[in-house]
């Protein structure tokens, strides 16, 4: 459990999100399930075996769209209600029940894609011409045809969807419900421990004994669950391998990259180039941290400390508004109006309470509005986290105004570009408004420690580890805790070399990341930030024209591939130049940190 945190029912309602915008009450939720069942049964009765012409295809897709739009708020409600308190048995049961309901729904509707693909391709193209809002859906369906299975097999797989989701649900239950941390000792006092408290506070704690003891206590408790968590992960991996083989993909990588609409070379380049060329810059950064803090030997537990912790101010939720309005103001009044609404209409869940999911995320149900989860710690660092999630919110808020439900969401490869762009805009704004060396150092260190470390180091190292895992599973292997620990340690050691001691407990880092249950997600953070870095530099040099292009990119949603979206903003990700530019930019920031530190210490 989350020691030292209040129960969900004790937090201020003003710090919670308003789920009533999705579903007014529990009775309406239940009515929604009944309505969906009736609509689905009627759809099956009308259209199963009856789609023969392009006109039939369009009419059927419009009816399907109505079901899909009705499903979105109901499913989102269940997921979000559970994410804020996974100890709530009512929320657990609702989510579990919905998983079974959704699987049944999917099984009934699975015939649609199969019957559409049985049509002549010209009929599908004519349907796309008749109804352009379905063009993307049909185009992706045609591309998927080589991997489509027999209708009854697709129906069976759809009915098993809740079973396939089981490992991820089990992972979250282990992490947020069963995993309980005892108090630990540091500096002669006892301190409470929880997942949220470690990741929000202790991991960035300035006091070395408190920080390292917290790391040891946290890691020790993780170790008690390593075998259960590894077995859970292996279940997920073997399911992915089986489905990849069933659908005729050559590798799991091909299977998972298919929907991302990028070539495997972009995936491997992102990992290989950063592992090789960013590592020297980050080792230099680690040495700088050690020198500033008087640490003779930096360890893995020390890497997230602040360059200047005494300078970082505490900031309230109310105070964060001005930073968001000022930093993101360059995006225009419509965008800022969305940010205002996110505060005023309770789109954001700020509360830190027991059982709440760790980290932060944004859910953007079509036809409603975005929802952001964050556990506000009052650290200035949270301004960057919030800007990041508002980047997701703004992206889908604009895309959904312009695109149909099937066209609004781009490839996973591009998802993190708008979010990390907002972090860059926040840093650019702060830098522009002060010439004070200490403030400039704080801003630069924030962008290095938060934006780049998180996206270009933390998630990239996870991606390098994940690639080892999938290589092993692709060759017919299973995983266990010993292997996962070994690969995690190998990746960390390769990146940090002899400049950072990979202390005991670092090998359990793989246990902390839910993204491993979401396909090839970790590497996309650095991919998105590569695009965001390039575009943010264009905004600095070009001003409004670059902003206008970026707004157009956001509005395009999923109507273009990642390479096409990046090209709209003036970035060519088919070459390695944007990534090399970004790595060089990170290096220049670290060089500037060293220069500013010498200037400050020389005063």
* Residue 109 lies inside a defined structural domain of this protein: yes
Q: How confident is the model at residue 369 (pLDDT cuts 50, 70, 90)?
A: very high
How many distinct structural domains can be found in the chain? Answer: 1
Q: Is 189 helix (H, G, I), strand (E, B) or coil?
A: strand
* pTM beyond cutoff 0.75: yes
Report d(CA 69, CA 92) in Å as an integer.
24
Q: How many CA atoms lie within 13 A of 276 on its CB side?
A: 8
In the prediction, which pLDDT does 1 show?
Answer: 39
Averaged pLDDT score across all residues of the chain = 93
Average pLDDT of the residues in 27-38: 95
Does the residue 555 lie in any domain?
Answer: no
Domain, as residue range, for 71: 8-164
Q: Give which of 282, 287, 284, 307 is closest to 298, Cα–Cα.
A: 287
Mention every residue, 6+ apart, whose C-beta is less than 8 A from residue 27.
none
Domain membership of residue 302 (yes or no) is no
Residue 236 tokens read as 């997920």
Asked whether residue 68 is assigned to any structural domain, the reply reads yes
pLDDT at residue 4, rounded to an integer? 73
Asked if the structure places residue 576 within a domain, the reply is no
* CA distances, 421 to each of 88, 378, 418, 529, 592 (Å): 35, 22, 5, 7, 21
Quick check: 389 and 362 in contact, CB under 8 A?
A: yes
Residue 54 CB partners (closer than 8 Å, separation 6+): 123, 124, 126, 127, 129, 130
| % of the chain with per-residue pLDDT over 70 | 99
525 is a domain residue: no
The 3-state secondary structure of 337-390, one letter per residue: HHHHHHHHCCCEECCCCCCCCCCCEEECCCCCCCEEECCCCCECHHHHHHHHHH
Those residues whose C-beta lies under 8 Å from the C-beta of residue 523, and which sit 6 or more positions away, are 267, 270, 271, 459, 460, 463, 466
Domain for residue 379, yes or no?
A: no
For residue 452, which of 518, 362, 569, 533 has the smallest C-alpha distance?
533
Mean pLDDT is lowest, of 220-229, 420-429, 492-501, for 420-429
Average pLDDT over residues 61-69: 96
Q: What is the pLDDT of residues 257-268, one digit of tens each?
A: 999 999 899 999
| Backbone dihedral angles phi then psi of residue 12, each to the nearest 5 degrees | -70, 135
Residue 549 has a pLDDT of 97
- What CATH number should be reported for the domain holding residue 152? 1.20.140.70
Could you tell me the pLDDT band of residue 590, with boundaries at 50, 70 and 90? very high
Q: Is residue 438 part of a domain?
A: no
């Amino acid at each position: 459990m989350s020691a030292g945190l209040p129960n969900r029912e004790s937090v201020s309602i003003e710090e919670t999100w308003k789920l009533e915008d999705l579903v007014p009450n529990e009775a309406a939720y239940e009515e929604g399930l009944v309505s969906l069942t009736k609509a689905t049964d009627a759809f099956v009765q009308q259209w199963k075996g009856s789609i023969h012409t392009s006109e039939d295809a369009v009419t059927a897709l419009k009816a399907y769209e109505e079901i899909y739009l009705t499903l979105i708020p109901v499913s989102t409600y269940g997921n979000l209600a559970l994410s804020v308190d996974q100890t709530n048995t009512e929320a657990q049961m609702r989510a579990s029940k919905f998983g079974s309901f959704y699987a049944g729904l999917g099984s009934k509707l699975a015939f649609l894609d199969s019957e559409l693909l049985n049509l002549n391709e010209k009929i599908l193209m004519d349907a796309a011409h008749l109804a352009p809002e379905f063009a993307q859906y049909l185009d992706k369906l045609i591309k998927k045809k080589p991997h489509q299975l027999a209708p009854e097999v697709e129906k069976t797989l759809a009915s098993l969807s809740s079973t396939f989701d089981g490992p991820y649900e089990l992972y979250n239950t282990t992490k947020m419900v069963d995993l309980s941390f005892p108090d630990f000792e540091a500096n002669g006092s006892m301190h409470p421990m929880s997942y949220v408290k470690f990741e929000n506070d202790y991991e960035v704690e300035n006091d070395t004994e408190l920080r390292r003891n917290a790391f040891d206590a946290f890691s020790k408790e993780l170790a008690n669950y390593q075998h259960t968590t590894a077995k859970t992960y292996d279940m997920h991996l073997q399911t992915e391998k089986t489905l990849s083989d069933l659908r005729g993909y050559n590798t799991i990588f091909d299977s998972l990259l298919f929907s991302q609409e990028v070539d495997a070379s972009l995936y491997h380049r992102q990992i290989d180039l950063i592992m090789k060329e960013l590592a020297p810059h980050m080792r230099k950064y680690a040495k700088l941290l050690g020198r500033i803090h008087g640490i003779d030997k930096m360890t893995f537990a020390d890497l997230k400390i602040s360059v200047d912790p005494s300078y970082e101010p505490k900031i309230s939720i109310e105070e964060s508004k001005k930073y968001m309005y000022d930093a993101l103001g360059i995006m225009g009044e419509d965008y800022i109006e969305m940010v205002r609404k996110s505060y005023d209409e309770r789109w954001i869940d700020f509360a830190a309470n027991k059982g709440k999911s760790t980290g932060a995320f944004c859910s953007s149900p079509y036809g409603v509005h975005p929802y952001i989860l964050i556990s506000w710690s009052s650290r200035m660092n949270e301004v960057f986290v919030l800007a990041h999630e508002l980047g997701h919110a703004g992206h889908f808020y604009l895309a959904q105004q312009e695109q149909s439900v099937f066209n609004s969401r781009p490839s996973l490869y591009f998802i993190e570009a708008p979010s990390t762009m907002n972090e860059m805009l926040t840093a650019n704004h702060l830098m522009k408004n002060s010439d004070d060396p200490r403030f400039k150092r704080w801003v630069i260190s924030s962008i290095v420690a938060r934006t780049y470390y998180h996206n270009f180091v933390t998630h990239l190292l996870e991606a390098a580890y994940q690639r080892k895992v999938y290589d092993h599973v692709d060759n017919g292997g299973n995983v266990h805790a010993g292997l996962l620990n070994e690969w995690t340690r190998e990746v960390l050691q390769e990146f940090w070399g002899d400049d950072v001691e990979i202390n005991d407990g670092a090998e359990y880092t793989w246990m902390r990341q839910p993204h491993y249950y979401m396909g090839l997600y970790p590497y996309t953070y650095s991919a998105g930030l590569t695009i965001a870095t390039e575009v943010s530099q264009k905004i600095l040099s070009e001003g409004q024209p670059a902003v206008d292009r970026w707004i157009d990119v956001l509005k395009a949603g999923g109507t273009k591939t990642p390479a096409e979206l990046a090209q709209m903003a003036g970035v060519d990700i088919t070459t390695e130049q944007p990534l090399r530019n970004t790595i060089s930019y990170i290096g220049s920031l670290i060089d500037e940190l060293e220069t500013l530190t010498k200037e400050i210490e020389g005063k």
